[in-house]
Amino acid sequence: MSDAWRQRLNEWSPYAVTPLLVLAALPAMGFGPWLTLTVAGLTMGMMLFLMASGLTLIFGLMDVLNFAHAAFITLGAYVAVTVLGLIGGWAQADALGPNLAALLVALLCAAAASGALGFVFEQVIVRRVYGAPLLQILITMGALIVIEQLVIVVWGPNALPLPKPPSLRGSLLVGTSPIESYRLVALCVGLVIALLMHFVLTRTRLGLLVRAGVEDREMVEALGYHVRRLFIGVFVAGTALAGMGGMMWAQYQTLVTSQVGDSMTVLVFIILIIGGLGSVGGCFIGAILVGLTSNYIEFLSPKLALGSDILLMVLVLMWRPRGLFPVAAH
């Protein structure tokens, strides 16, 4: 086999992991549970992708390890509670149209609030610690605590209910397999956003700059582009996506606590590592892998479920120590 073919095989083989996992799970559980769990895993993967994709770009482009990312997830969830409360007529109507419209408004508000806070956060805090990883960890961890406490001040310390809209509470039957309606909506929303991101990253000059910047920031600057300005935009978009992910996840859980972001942090970092730092495509596949694996393992071997994500990460890193699709050269 020539070197070029070996290199191509090496590049493309990670794409086969997800289909192989899905196919391998089928004989182990039978078609009915397999379909339900596959849809559940894909949905969870989409929500995780929303939360993680911004973080991977932020790290890839500027080497910034933002441990406060969880705060933007939390903020998105709480904003959803407020917005869905304000438009309760739509959210609790017995019709699909108003229900979906309410979700869309909540999603956009969550994105706007998290993005706006992300802008302030970048300008006030992150820009002071470029190139200083230890300070980044300290200051973003500190900011995470402060933002979470502020959330408690504004929304109170108690968990808040976030009931699903009536038309999204039930399940659809596909054959004998029940598929939750909300999961289908979340799956569609995640897919649309992922496709939009894919379009921006692969079909626009802005996306080209982001991809190039993740690979070699210095060279992009030497070509005449201010990566610093680009990064502000990426940071805002990344935090807005985190807010969207937080909103979708909270709605799925039907309960919001100030720890909602924290509880996702480990998963988000596992996805970044599995996918390869800086790679949005890797993040997408990593998120789906994590979603599917945790659903399959929870069904097949509940005792293993607690450690399934770590186990998955270990296996991936043993195969590809820099993740499935490493981009960032750091």
Q: Per rule CB under 8 A, is residue 233 in the interface with other proteins? A: no
326: left (phi over 0), alpha (psi -120 to 50) or beta: beta
Q: Strand pairing partners for 256? A: 160
Exposure string over 9-29, b if 16+ CB within 10 A, otherwise e: eeeeebeebbeebbeebeeeb
Q: Per rule CB under 8 A, is residue 269 in the interface with other proteins? A: no
Q: Per rule CB under 8 A, is residue 1 in the interface with other proteins? A: no
Q: Per rule CB under 8 A, is residue 205 in the interface with other proteins? A: yes
Shortest CB 200 distance to other proteins, Å: 14
**Residue from 58, 211, 284, 286 binding other proteins (CB under 8 A):** 211
The CB density around residue 100, as the number of other CB atoms within 10 Å, is 17
Contact flags string 288-327 toward other proteins, x per CB under 8 A: ---------------------------------------x
Q: Per rule CB under 8 A, is residue 5 in the interface with other proteins? A: no
Q: Per rule CB under 8 A, is residue 6 in the interface with other proteins? A: no
Exposure string over 199-223, b if 16+ CB within 10 A, otherwise e: eebeeeeebebbbbbbeebeebeee
Q: Per rule CB under 8 A, is residue 224 in the interface with other proteins? A: yes
Q: Per rule CB under 8 A, is residue 206 in the interface with other proteins? A: no
Given a contact cutoff of 8 angstroms between Cβ atoms, the answer to whether 74 and 246 are in contact is yes
Q: Per rule CB under 8 A, is residue 9 in the interface with other proteins? A: no
Which residue lies nearer to other proteins by CB, 119 or 225? 225
* Distance between CA atoms of residues 330 and 325, nearest Å: 13
Shortest CB 83 distance to other proteins, Å: 38
Q: Per rule CB under 8 A, is residue 63 in the interface with other proteins? A: no
Q: Per rule CB under 8 A, is residue 219 in the interface with other proteins? A: yes
Which residue lies nearer to other proteins by CB, 209 or 234? 209
Retrieve residue 10's tokens.
């090496």
List Cβ neighbours of 106 (8 Å cut-off, separation of 6 or more): 79, 80, 83, 84, 87, 91, 247, 251
Residues in touch with other proteins (CB under 8 A): 4, 7-8, 205, 208-209, 211-212, 215-216, 218-227, 327
